[in-house]
């Protein structure tokens, strides 16, 4: 499968991990399009229906699958037919996605955003919470896990194809907190096997020219993760986690130098009452970018290919907190673009959202 390398700018655009607290899909989409207009995402709404949690949302596509609120159980077997049947999750499992598509379709083409984001659970995370009739997880068998990776990769590609009908540039992020458990008792996989699984997952999305990313709010071994060649990695970028990131500085530099993207999770969704100072965070992010910048991965390149978000999903926030998160990320984005952009790079207009 050929890989197309996307090349667009997302210069410190505010965006979301995926979930929001609302239960009305139309209201959630309207909020996203207003607050995250530079790079909107379709909202996952687990408070509306438990089937909209990330595990059942995609996992119920497995043959014979059911969700008990803790684990996904499936009684089928891996097959090419199941792979061929993969498409978008139905409205009852992804009301926000279908409302998002409808809202974009209703907009004049010239008023739609130029880049949008989708998301889906990754195969490793899904495997950790999936059991067959014998109690085995997909990762207990290498071929079953590779089949699951292909299924999730095709489901991600189905999202991308539908969204590309409406908007030219699509970012699709696989939610993979399980990456932090590789080679641990909870996920006893070698990194060689893990990289193979990730490549199988990313390839269908990359073949469509979309940005294919991996999100993990717990710190994995990013040097090994990046061997799978994701276009984007999305991480907890706060001060307490910065050392976990800088530890992999060489791999991050190589990633950015070859055109890779970064998603900085900065707004504290786990402690929403903790103050977030957009001005102070501008200085913090500039310092963090300098930590990984060098000639072939300059601060300018990092800024042009980075987006800002909450640390994790926002389903546990109140609607007021979710709105405040978006507003404060926007304030931070515009502040750092104006304050640092010209010093970092001379080929970009900080007031042009497309540059």
List pLDDT tens digits, range 274-304. 889 999 999 999 888 888 887 566 888 888 8
Report the C-alpha dihedral over residues 335, 241, 19, 138, rounded to 10 degrees. 150
Q: Which CATH class is domain 13-344?
A: alpha beta
pLDDT in tens, 124-174: 999 999 999 999 999 999 999 999 999 999 999 999 999 999 999 999 999
Supply the pLDDT for residue 198.
98
Question: What is d(CA 314, CA 302) in angstroms, rounded to the nearest whole number?
Answer: 25
Angle subtended by helix axes 25-35 and 95-106, to nearest 10? 60
Residue 342: pLDDT over 90:
no
CB neighbours of residue 77 within 10 Å: 11
Supply the pLDDT for residue 297.
67
Question: What is d(CA 247, CA 140) in angstroms, rounded to the nearest whole number?
Answer: 31
CB 204 within 8 A of CB 156: yes
Question: What is d(CA 102, CA 236) in angstroms, rounded to the nearest whole number?
Answer: 32
CB 155 within 8 A of CB 212: no
Residue 344: pLDDT over 70:
no
Mean pLDDT within 93-120:
97
CB 245 within 8 A of CB 222: yes
Supply the pLDDT for residue 354.
45
pLDDT in tens, 187-241: 999 999 999 999 999 999 999 999 999 999 999 999 999 999 999 999 999 988 8
CB 201 within 8 A of CB 174: yes
For the chain, how many residues are written? 355
φ/ψ (deg, to 5) at 100: -65, -45
């Amino acid at each position: 499968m050929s890989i197309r390398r996307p090349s667009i700018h997302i210069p410190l655009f505010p965006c979301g991990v995926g979930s929001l607290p609302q239960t009305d899909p139309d209201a959630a989409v309207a909020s996203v399009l207003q607050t995250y207009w530079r790079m909107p995402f379709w909202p996952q709404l687990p408070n509306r229906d438990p089937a909209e949690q990330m595990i059942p949302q995609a996992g119920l596509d497995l043959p014979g699958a059911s969700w008990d609120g803790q684990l996904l159980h499936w009684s089928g077997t891996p097959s090419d037919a199941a792979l061929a049947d993969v498409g978008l999750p139905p409205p009852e499992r992804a009301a926000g996605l279908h409302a998002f598509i409808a809202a974009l379709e209703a907009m004049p083409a010239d008023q739609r955003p130029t880049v949008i984001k989708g998301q889906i659970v990754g195969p490793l995370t899904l495997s950790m919470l999936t059991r067959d009739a014998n109690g085995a997880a997909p990762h207990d068998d290498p071929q079953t896990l590779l089949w699951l990776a292909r299924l999730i990769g095709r489901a991600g590609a189905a999202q991308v194809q539908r969204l590309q009908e409406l908007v030219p540039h699509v970012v699709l992020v696989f939610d993979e907190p399980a990456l932090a458990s590789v080679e641990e008792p909870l996920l006893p996989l070698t990194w060689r096997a893990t990289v193979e699984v990730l490549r199988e997952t990313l390839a269908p999305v990359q073949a469509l020219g979309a940005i294919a990313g991996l999100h993990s709010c717990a710190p994995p071994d990013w040097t090994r993760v990046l061997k799978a060649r994701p276009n984007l990695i999305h991480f907890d970028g706060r001060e307490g986690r910065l050392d976990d990131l800088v530890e992999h500085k060489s791999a991050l530099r190589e990633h950015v130098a070859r055109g890779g993207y970064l998603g900085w999770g900065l707004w504290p969704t786990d402690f929403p009452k903790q103050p977030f100072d957009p001005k102070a965070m501008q200085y913090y992010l500039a310092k963090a970018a300098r930590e990984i910048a060098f000639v072939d991965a300059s601060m300018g390149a990092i800024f042009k290919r980075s987006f800002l978000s909450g640390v994790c999903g926002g389903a546990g926030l109140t609607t007021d907190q979710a709105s405040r998160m978006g507003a404060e990320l926007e304030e931070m984005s515009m502040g750092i673009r104006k304050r640092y952009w010209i010093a970092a790079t001379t080929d970009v207009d900080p007031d042009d959202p497309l540059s």
